[in-house]
Amino acid sequence: MNDAHDPATEEDIAIAIAEAIGCEIGDAFLVRVVDVLRRYMRASLVLIGVGQGTPIDHTRAIFALRDGQGVQDISYDLTGTPCEMVYSEQDNLVVPCDLAQRFPREIGIESYVGVPLRDAQGDVRGHLAVFSPEPMTQSDRVAGLVAVFAQRVEAELRRMEFEAERDRLVADLMRQTGRLRVQQQINRNQNAYKTRLLGVIAHDLRNPLAAILSQAELAGALLARPEPVVEKVARACDKVVANADRISALIDATLKRVREEDSQLSLSPEPCDLGALIRIAVEVNQPEATRKSIKIRLGAIPDMEITVDEELMMRAVDNLISNAVKYSDPGGWVQVSGVVHGDGVRIAVADNGQGLSAGDISRAFGRFETLSAKPTGGETATGLGLSNVKEIVEAHGGGLSVDSAGIGQGAVFTIALPKGQVGHSA
């Protein structure tokens, strides 16, 4: 390194140092340091290396310039090099001339300056090295210059390390936050599921309880007559028992779902008579229809056996009839029918009630949805009935649809079951 020492040259070097330290940070700063050292010290190779191994016996250059050109993937064994002494002695090494005589591996290089780079704990982790094909005439000044740059490089490497650690901690925090959000959503879904089960229970128990009350009142009225009609009382009591059995079955089915901790319906399909299923559902809703002077008509019902979970399918048909009665004006009508369609069967519940708007139809089967129609006899509405029906029907591989000409034009709800769920009676 044939250093000029006139004032202008020294001033240029001082300005270069200031620019390198003040104008950049990060990778850009390290690149600039290497470039300034190469230009102002006429070095053939300048590199910032990171030690590897325990103890350190290799180094890898993270930035290097050779003859003014960037060099990638410089990695070498420290044995027999001046850089080895920087790591072993953990101190600056200045070789002003005849470098190859002391280190034969460095043939063609005359002078060398190496400065160790330490981490926050004070351990040597890397080094800054300057190689020149020219002898060094003012070694103290050159060593001091390189040391100034090395201090700034060391500080910058620590800053970058802290920044990388900060980014890693932030990434870990983001991952933990993501996990918490997922767990929060799981908890929210579980709570929603429990709420849904309670809603299903409340909704599905309402009709059989109402039937029990009406039949019990009827039986009481019959018994209060001067000449009790025992046969009618017995029929009313039979209906009370039948509806109590339905309540028990509903509770058992709900408890089974809770035990399974599964939001999907568990089906127990068995052959059952379609006509009998529809007639029972109509009979359960007859007391409420009578109270509102609504006539429930039975349309054509084919002599057909269907293979379904009878309790769940009964619940689905019951819900459709109950809704039709609930949203129909007093004096109206509801018609229930079953027809063979292609390879399946369709169960339709029609009414001449309030009808649905286009917006209602698009939201009709959503859970807890509130539609424009309102109950006409003071009944309550949970927004669960149609979504429950949809879940049951889809669990059977079928579909639920609704048609309405508009507000005040009535509606038709249709359960469509596929081929696998139906079969003609023998």
Length of the chain equals 426
Is the pLDDT score of 10 beyond 60? no
Residue 82, pLDDT score: 93
Residue 426, pLDDT score: 39
Q: Which of 74, 73, 72, 75 is nearest to 53 (CA)?
A: 75
Is the pLDDT score of 321 beyond 80? yes
Which residues are CB-contacts of 299 (< 8 A; sequence separation ≥ 6)?
335, 336, 337, 338, 348
pLDDT band at 378 (very low <50, low <70, confident <90, very high): low
Between 170 and 21, name the one with better pLDDT: 170
pLDDT band at 422 (very low <50, low <70, confident <90, very high): low
Nearest-angstrom CA–CA distance, 140 and 150: 15
Average per-residue pLDDT in the chain? 79
Between 146 and 27, name the one with better pLDDT: 146
Buried-state track 337-352, b at ≥16 Cβ within 10 A, e below 16 = bbeeeeebbbbbbbbb
Between 371 and 175, name the one with better pLDDT: 175
Residue 414, pLDDT score: 94
Q: Which pTM was predicted?
A: 0.43
Between 250 and 393, name the one with better pLDDT: 393
Which tens digit of pLDDT belongs to each residue from 200-259? 676 677 777 777 888 787 778 878 788 777 788 788 888 888 878 777 777 776 666 555
Q: Are 306 and 423 in contact (CB under 8 A)?
A: yes
Is the pLDDT score of 160 beyond 70? yes
pLDDT band at 377 (very low <50, low <70, confident <90, very high): low
11: left (phi over 0), alpha (psi -120 to 50) or beta: alpha
Residue 232, pLDDT score: 81
Is the pLDDT score of 22 beyond 80? no
Of the chain, the percentage scoring pLDDT greater than 90 comes to 18
pLDDT band at 6 (very low <50, low <70, confident <90, very high): very low
The residue-averaged pLDDT of 284-302 equals 89
The residue-averaged pLDDT of 125-145 equals 82
CB atoms within 10 A of CB 246: 23
Residue 217, pLDDT score: 79
The residue-averaged pLDDT of 101-110 equals 90
Type of residue numbered 93: L
Of the chain, the percentage scoring pLDDT greater than 70 comes to 78
Which tens digit of pLDDT belongs to each residue from 309-320? 888 888 899 889
Residue 8, pLDDT score: 42
Please report the domains of the chain, with CATH numbers, ordered by start residue. Answer: 7-169 (3.30.450.40), 269-426 (3.30.565.10)
Q: Are 329 and 289 in contact (CB under 8 A)?
A: no
The residue-averaged pLDDT of 290-306 equals 88
Which tens digit of pLDDT belongs to each residue from 335-357? 999 988 878 899 999 999 888 88
DSSP structural state of residue 104? G
